Amino acid sequence: MKYKDPSLSIDARVEDLLGRMTLEEKIGQMLQVERKHTSADLINKYFIGSVMSEGGSIPAPQASAETWVDMVNEFQKGALSTRLGIPVFYGVDAVHGHNTVYNATIFPHNIGLGATRDPELVKRIGAATALEVRATGVQYAYAPCIAVCRDPRWGRCYESYSEDTELVQAMTEIIPGLQGDIPHNLPKGVPFISGKEKVIGSAKHYVGDGGTVNGINEHNTVIERDGLMKIHMPPYLTSIDKGVASIMVSYSSWNGLKMHAHHDLITAFLKNTLHFKGFVISDFEGIDRITTPHRANINYSIEAGVSAGIDMFMFPKLYTEFIDGLSMLVKNERIPMSRIDDAVRRILWVKFMMGLFENPYADYSMTRYLGIQEHRNLAREAVRKSMVLLKNGQSVDKPLLPLPKKAPKILVAGIHADNLGYQCGGWTIEWQGVSGNNLLKGTTILNAVKNTVDPETTVIYKENPDAEFVKSNEFSYAIVVVGEPPYAETHGDNMNLTIPDPGPEMIRNVCGVTKCVVIVISGRPLVIEPYVDMIDALVAAWLPGSEGQGVADVLFGDYAFTGKLPRTWFKSVDQLPMNVGDPHYDPLFPFGFGLSTQTTEALFSE
């Protein structure tokens, strides 16, 4: 069997295998099913091509890397025992590190990485993430999100690097981190994964997901074609040039037509004009949402999605419906066999390219990479570089930062100061994120402060101090950490963008009495203008992830502040949408703004 011969070209192997496959086997390859709804036996029975975890779906509570590997290998056994033995790959939302997995390193969310302005750092994060994903036997990460978020009211804005197309394009450097550096002789558009320390990447969500009206998730992006091509499309061009192996379709619509049914943009433009040779994957239950209400006519949705050019379908649960529906559509000549072959050819190409036929089983020796210190150090570096200093002192000649490490008594306040779950945001352990410190390994901002100050400095932590408490204690200064609770997707859509209570009251109680630095933990700019005058120093910390020590690194001057705003900080939500270059641009802090500081060492050496 030629397809089993690794000395032959990938094209030759793909064509040989494709020629041996029945319609049923081909349709199986086009499916990606959820782990809870399948088994090795069902994978064998239906020739399933891929398995996935939806947000927060894990083999066991606080599962070890080995437990993950056991699960993935068990599914693989089912695939390899089919007639043709085509291996499966397993996909997860590893969007800021391997974020579903206990003990993994959690990197800052993309908005924070956009603030670093450091593509090389983002590439290293991609490589570290790939190692941790492979440590659990998983071969496919649904990353990066290359949305250009044009309205911070969107619940996924933190998954976007920036409102600026060029900055998002620069950050696609994460793709060679995840997949490996593309060889110079490879034609453009061909997917490339360089071995078993790398993963399949997925540029998402194609296309225009960050441009919906009022930032409403999964909604309608109203823009002329020229605007779509100038603002939202360029990161896909760059991703394809970098060999991205898959592209995920957006739930959203463009001028009223659902992207999951958009033949013009998926087949005519992405495949035929841009020559993308990887596979196109639906979003989770994406074709269910082609109709209103969802799943109103599933055969219509299957026909629309397959005809549009989607190759692999996240059909997590009721996948026999997909098998039966697509079989009928092919037999009734509603969908040509050539469209099925195009889909399967692309999926098989990626499986051969990544060496899955030669190395189908996960390697237990890789488990050692999960949450290693080297990756935590990298995450800490990313946190440092992502901090944006918006204000430093009530006047230029009297900066508050860097804070002195030696002080009699300091106050740390706010629920976000000692809550790893809040520090990491959505897509962490569970789909909507978690609260508290029990499910994550890392350093809270409170502990980072305690680790950094002089041993004789007393650190008092109070979640929500009143003004009387602050007055009576005579603190040298206070660190107030406020922000949003975790959220993901539609749950994060927010039309007012105010700091949740008791944040505003705490700012008044603390900053009205003592010198204070306010740290905002959020997935986007929030309404801060009413409080800026009473705040001495203001830091946008985004969603920094597990390594809170990086926050203390810059607060206390071990490192300088260097981060720049990846998005415009508005004065009020009435201005939205407002992006750099707009005629009505009147920000509180403009795109690219960020004060810098000197390190304590540099200050003392002057």
Q: Can the peptide bond before residue 402 be classed as cis, meaning omega within 30 degrees of 0?
A: yes
In the chain, how long is the greatest CA-to-CA distance? 82
HEC secondary structure over 277-295: CCEEECCCCCHHHHCCCCC
311 is catalytic: no
Structure tokens given for 285: 């239950």
The H or E element that residue 51 is part of is strand 50-52
State the catalytic residue, choosing from 209, 283, 311, 553.
Answer: 283
Closest by CA to 109, choosing from 492, 438, 382, is 382
CA 349, 350, 356, 358 dihedral sign is: positive
Structure tokens given for 606: 């002057």
Sequence-ordered list of residues with C-beta below 8 angstroms from that of 380, at least 6 positions apart, any chain:
547, 549, 550, 553
Closest by CA to 82, choosing from 121, 126, 25, 30, is 25
C-alpha 246/C-alpha 234 separation (Å) is 16
120 is catalytic: no
Q: Can the peptide bond before residue 530 be classed as cis, meaning omega within 30 degrees of 0?
A: no
State the catalytic residue, choosing from 489, 493, 536, 553.
Answer: 489
C-alpha 210/C-alpha 242 separation (Å) is 22
Cβ atoms of residues 28 and 47 within 8 Å: yes
Side-chain-facing half-sphere of 175: CA atoms under 13 Å: 29
Q: What is the DSSP letter of 431?
A: T
257 strand-pairing partners: 254
Q: How many CB atoms lie within 10 A of CB 332?
A: 8
Burial of 207 (0-12, 13-18, 19+ CB in 10 A): buried
- Pairing of β 257-258 and β 253-254: antiparallel
Place of tokens 């802090």: 589
Sequence-ordered list of residues with C-beta below 8 angstroms from that of 256, at least 6 positions apart, any chain:
220
C-alpha 142/C-alpha 144 separation (Å) is 7
Q: How far is CA 396 from the centre of its chain?
A: 37
Task: Give residue 599's region: left, alpha or beta (phi > 0; psi -120 to 50).
Answer: beta
C-alpha 513/C-alpha 507 separation (Å) is 10
C-alpha 398/C-alpha 509 separation (Å) is 22
C-alpha 109/C-alpha 147 separation (Å) is 13
Across the beta sheet with 537-542, the strand order is 388-392, 537-542, 516-521, 477-483, 409-413, 458-462
Cβ atoms of residues 312 and 344 within 8 Å: no
Q: Which positions are annotated as active-site residues?
A: 283, 489
